[in-house]
Each structure stands twice: as structure tokens, then as C-alpha cells.
Structure 1
């Protein structure tokens, strides 16, 4: 055991945990005052159910010995067995200098936050019970297998790992594919099955821009732990990932505001918050593979394209309420592909992209990984949503939607309005 590594990861876990209220505030401020509590409860509910599933068998499905490169053996660490020992006498109690049980908690928060991201696409109109069932099933059938593909390397926790990390050789430092493309594709599928809200096309009606900006700030702070902590140690790699994360976020925020100014004639608080999250999303897969100048380019590209992608929902008629598709799916794809374009041998992982003389070799690997995750997540998510729609129902009634979910379903309004 390395006490410095363990202390660093304990701090990162605290930072990741702050992303839970951060996401709840970010989403909760963007919806109507009539459904703010419901929106925030979707985040907390997803964390609770996915967190339990992770420690029962999720870690094993992700990091257990691979079955065909598709998923880990769920019995290897079932019930977190073999991951802890009071005297450190078992073989699997440490990984990269830290207690493997702590590594499991770090990865559990990745799973929880990924599932919670999807909720932004179903704001104001999905039954809370249906959401909880969907969150549990999606974690088991989609996130756990995809995380195995991307994060399970041969010979690290188990002998054999996932196909994207080992056979394909695509790079994903902290979850552009497993987290953002995965959640964004699922958000698109569920939004299509749910249908449009009563207010679709009238523009967003955030009830509290300050809450959204506060949430974005907490997410920004927690993202240092998300990206830097993925290096699993207080090292040059972690420092590099944090710096590139900061630069891409600044660049994306400015690019988003510039697009807003040109397109709409003004800049907004929601735009600033969305731009920051876009930069964080895009740099997540590439924070260890691009130089500081490359990180700025990643942020500028994502910050310029994602606000245009957000506007596509009205053109194509899918109601992605809080722009999960435009920010996380599109931003995740941009960040994943940019590794193959501006990846540099001077970074901590040392992969050269097209602009650094590496040709298209890494680019096609990144494209294949993004396409595979997107297709798998969308298809399974769509089928899951359709099954829930046909069995327990997933959408609230028009009357409840008009009155507000908080008052009708939770009896717990965000504010006492007199």
C-alpha cells in the first residue's frame, strides 16, 4: 500500500461525490419550478440504486476475468469478496498502490454519475418509479458491459479485459465512450420513446439560473477528480490531466458564448454553464493524450459545435429536455475522435494523431469505439424503454405534467410560494 496514493484517491472520491449535488443543482435549476425536486431526486435515486448494484456484482462484471471481451465474470468478486482483508493477506487487496476496495468506490461513482446524466433528457415527464427501474436495468445491461470494454485492461485487476481497451486499442482516459457517449445515446433513445413534453419547442424555462451555474461550478471542481483521479495516483499524469481539463473548459465556455452571440445576439448564464460542461465532456477521453494547446483546440471545437447540435432536437423532433444529447453525446464523440487528430507523443500516454504524423491509425480506432458504444447503448436503451412503457408505463399523465411533478407525485415542492 502507498499512503500518498491512498490519500490522493480519498480526496478524489470526495471530489467525485460533490458531483452528485453538482449535477442535481445543474439539472434542477434548468427545469420548471414545478418539477425541480423531481429532477434532483432522479440524480440521488440513480446514485443510490446503482451504488448498491455496483458493490454486489457490478465491479465484478466490469473488472472480473473477461468472458469473450464482452463482460467480466460476475462471480469473481461477487459481493465484493476478495477485495478486502483486515490484515492485507489476500492477493486482491491492492491495485496500483491503493486498496482495491477504494478503487472500487472510485469506479462506483463513475457508474452512478453516468446513469444520472441520462435523467436530463426525461425532465418534467417521466415517472419516478419507472426511472428507478430503468436506471437499475440500464446499469446492469449497458453501463457495466461497456465499462468492461473500455476500462478493463489485461493483467491489471484480472487476467483478461475488454475488447475496446485491449483488442481494438482505442484510448479513453476517463470515460468519453463509457460515460458520455454511453449516456448520451441512452438519453436519445429514452427521449424518443417518451415523446415530446407539452412545452416542447417553446424554449427552455429555467427557474433558477444561479442554481445551474452553481451546479456547473461544483461539476467543474469534481471533474478534476474525475479526470485527474483516473491516473490513480498523485503524479505528473494526474497533474497533466487536470491542466488540460481546465484549459479545454475555459476554451469551450468562450466558444459557446461566441456562438450564442453570433446566433442569438446575446450571451446567457445557461450558455456559460453548458459551455463549461461541454469542455469537460470533450476533454474527458483525451485529457491524457493532448498537449495544453491541443486541449484548447478540443475545447474550442466542442464549444462551437455542441450549441449547434443542441438546436437539432427541434429540427428532428426529439425532446432532449436538458440537452444531454447535444452536450454529452456530441461532446463525447468530439473528444474521443480528437485523440486521433491532435494526440501527441509528448503527453503522458504518448499517442500521435493525424496532425502529429500518426496518420489515421488511431483515428479509426477511436471512431470504431465511439460507433460501437453509441449503437449498443441506443439499441438496448430503446428496447428497455419500450418494455417499461408497455408494462409499468413510463410517462406521467398530462394533468400531472401541467400541475407539476413535485406537487402531484412527491408532495414536496422546492419552494413555498405564497
Structure 2
């Protein structure tokens, strides 16, 4: 049975008159999330107090929710756990992979990677006394740069600016042929299209949930460890809840079993409750249907913009195989144009230096939304209304 996207759209709280093309940065609120969080606050935290850790299942929540994420990213049950932030999970995965490759000294990434991932890699290299090097190459050169010096590749599957998509299976195969491990950042993949970590034989993967998975601002991250590494990967961040027996209060750390060892701090119970409400929507979604509609909406947008607005240059690959679930156009005044769009009720975002970025999330975006977005953008460009001081003043968040 095909996915009813008109039905899923009704499950989201979307302001009247707004076309929201920024679900690739912050997903909108699922209508049931507020009640779900209120229940945790009032009936669990409020009534159960500290007994909620056992009676309400808070302690098991990271693994339980992790299994629901696993279904969306092609991972086996028991291989994904929730908690902390994406940057922390990048650090964990990268540090574990380096320790598993003791004779290699190079972390390979690309210049299109999200800067935070690169910052975490740089910081880890400094912590390890400068014995490791972060090497970055152009996204198109990743495959050829994987050689016998590389310990681990750190790649975000979809470029956050252009939407260009790496071939996970091919890069992972090449890395393994060269004796390297892989860490995949799925920040712009999970919930955007079908992911097959097991099929690609990925070693580690991490991702956030506040974008396509709609957990809300500051939503928890996840980490995946391939089953064959689950008992050998050692967590660099030896957190209390990653201990084999947290409530034995041993003075020495012993890693927990399997993916549980990748837990660090106390789970964000309220945020995980919001995520659980959002994941209920995903129980109604076929990921292949999602991908097909996302591509149709993207193609509609690209065709509309290019036929009416010659001043914008497409930055996103035309090939469906090389594209995530966003479309980006370049313009020297991209920031001001985007602020004007937002003022007109079409919300996307801007990425320096010149990218107007639009996310296509079929759970709540349809063909009428795309048509309105194209018409609004064309009007702004035709009349030059973006060229006003109020649209050029930079805010803290772009």
C-alpha cells in the first residue's frame, strides 16, 4: 500500500500560509509531540518522580528509540543507541575507529563536510598529541584519496550546502579494500531517503534527529556500530551509562555490552519523548515512496526556478543518484533573497557564501507548496524587493 502523504501532512503543526522548505534544518512539530511530552512531565516525572527511571522505562529509552531509528537507516536491531549531540557522537565513532587502526595515522574527509565534523576531528588529533592528521580533499576526489595511509574516512553522505550525495557503498568498499574503516554522518540522510548501512557494510554511523526526523531543537543524536565491531570498539568517552554495570558504582570503567557502551550521559528523556511521537508518523511511511516523491518535488522546483529565474545558478547535482533531499541555488545576494522569501512566508535557509537552500520533505510538502515557492521567488527576483536594508542585516542564525 502506498504512503498517503496528504494524511501525513495533517499530522504536522504548520503555520497558516507558510511553505516550510527548511525541514532539512529543523523539522516542524508533530501535533502529538506536545501531548506526549506533557504526559512525561506530568504523569511520569510529576507522579513517579525518580521511580520513573524504572517504572516509565526511561533508562531503556535510548536503546528502544535507537531500534526505531535503525529501521530507517538499514541497521540491525541492537546496533543503534540515542543520546548526546551529533558532535559528541562523531568524536566517539572517530576515536573508536582510530584505536581499531593502530598503524594508520590519517583521517580522510572532504571539503564539503560539515565544519563541526572537521572541528571534532581536528580536536581529536590535537588531543592525541599531533600523531594523527586530518586530510581533506574535494568531494569528487574522496575515492582516489583512499589509500593505505588512511585509518578512517569521515564523510557526511549528503553535502549540507549543495545536496550532493556520496556513494556510501562504493566508498565503504574502497576503504575496506585499503584496510580503512568508515564513519558516516547521516545528518542529511536519515529520514530523507532509504539508507542501507548493513548493505553498504559501514563500520560506524552517526546522525541527528532534529532535521528530517522532527525531534525538535536540540534533539538527541544517534550512533551506529556495525555488529562485528560492537564488542571490540572501545568508547573514548567512558561515560557512566556506558559502563557494564552503572549502579555498581565501580571506580574503574568496564565497557557495557555491544552498543550500550556508546552511551555517555543521562538520556534526554523529554526530547526522546518528542522524538518517539515523531517516529509514530514514520510507521506510516514507505521510504521508497518518500524518495520518489521527494525527487518529483525537487524536479518540479528546479524546472520552475530555471524556467523563470535565470539569475540563479543550480548548485545541486541534476542526477537523482547524486542528490539528497534538498535543492540549492547560488546567488551573490543569497542571504538577502532568502530573508525576503521568509518575509513572504516561504521558509528556506542560507549557507555561506552564496547558497539558498531548500529542503523537500514529502511528509508535509506537496506540489502546491512547490508552485507557491517558485512563484514567490520569481516575484522577488522580478521586482528586486530583496534589495532592501532590512533583508541584508545578518542575524545570528542564517
- Give TM-score scaled by structure 2 length: 0.31
The answer to which structure has the higher helix fraction is: 1
The answer to which structure has the higher strand fraction is: 2
Instruction: State the structure with more CA Rg.
Output: 2
- Give TM-score scaled by structure 1 length: 0.29
